[in-house]
A and B are shown apart, each in its own frame.
Chain A
């Protein structure tokens, strides 16, 4: 499925390189953050999440870093593969809220 389209930030990386996708959030009261991957024609797929009492969390080939001081979140993908090509969204949840607030997304293209 398409997301933001013309104004979507893009990142191109060579296959096998590491990717870093950044996300700035605005609400200092947010206590939960999550990354999703959306491939064309599909719904967002959960990648990794992190709570505000942590500053790093690792998964399989992915790492999320949270810097609350500057309200910045990043997703690192190790040894990027062609199958990683997609749009990546970060989302935040304000403390006490139920819903997620999504960022605009970054389109990652992996060059074989």
Chain B
């Protein structure tokens, strides 16, 4: 058990809808990273938050947004969903920022029908 909790485990929704994925980092970790894993693109970095502030941005679509709350949990919001958004979404937490071990949650499997 990595100590990182993601909910829900599975999400099935329709095109055009909006969903929210939730991540609770390991106790004491200040950074949360979000990744998308799909069959044809491997693990793609989306966005990082550190202590409530956005720190780094990857290939995140404008339809996607995230935030980190004062209690350090994070949410990834996906809107106007398309079939191609079906993927596994992982969050990872890290004590600080920059180099260091990122600990991953079990992921949320999103299926857009």
User: How many A-B contacts at CB < 8 Å in the complex?
Assistant: 80
Chain A, range 7-45, C-beta contacts under 8 Å to B? 7, 31-32, 34, 36, 41-45
Q: A4-B39, A43-B6, A43-B107 are in contact. List 14 more A-B contacts (CB 8 A).
A: A3-B37, A4-B41, A4-B42, A34-B102, A42-B106, A44-B90, A46-B101, A46-B103, A51-B99, A98-B56, A100-B45, A100-B102, A101-B45, A102-B35
Q: How far is the CA of A31 from the CA of B99 in the complex (A)?
A: 8
In the A-B complex, the 7 residue pairs with the smallest Cβ-Cβ separation, listed nearest first, are A43-B104, A32-B99, A102-B43, A98-B56, A5-B39, A99-B45, A44-B104
Size of chain B's interface in residues, with CB distance under 8 A? 34
A37-61 vs B, Cβ < 8 Å mask (1 yes, 0 no): 0000111111001010000000000
Chain A residue, CB-CB nearest to B105: A43
**Interface residues of A, CB < 8 Å — how many?**
32
Residues of A within 8 A of B6 (CB): 43
Name the A residues within 8 Å of B99 (CB-CB). Answer: 31-32, 51, 93
| Most-contacted residue by chain B among A43, A46, A89, A100 (CB, 10 A) | A43
CA A96 – CA B55 in complex, angstroms?
12
Shortest beta-carbon distance from B86 to chain A in Å: 11
Interface residues, chain A, with chain B CB atoms under 8 Å away:
1-7, 31-32, 34, 36, 41-46, 49, 51, 89, 91, 93, 96-105
Knowing A32-B99, A98-B98, A99-B58 touch, does A44 contact B39 (C-beta < 8 A)? no
| Chain B positions within 8 Å of A5 at CB level | 39-40
For the complex formed, measure the closest distance between the CB of B73 and the CB atoms of chain A, giving whole angstroms: 17
A43 touches B40 (CB 8 A): no
- Tell me the complex Cα distance, A93–B109, Å: 26
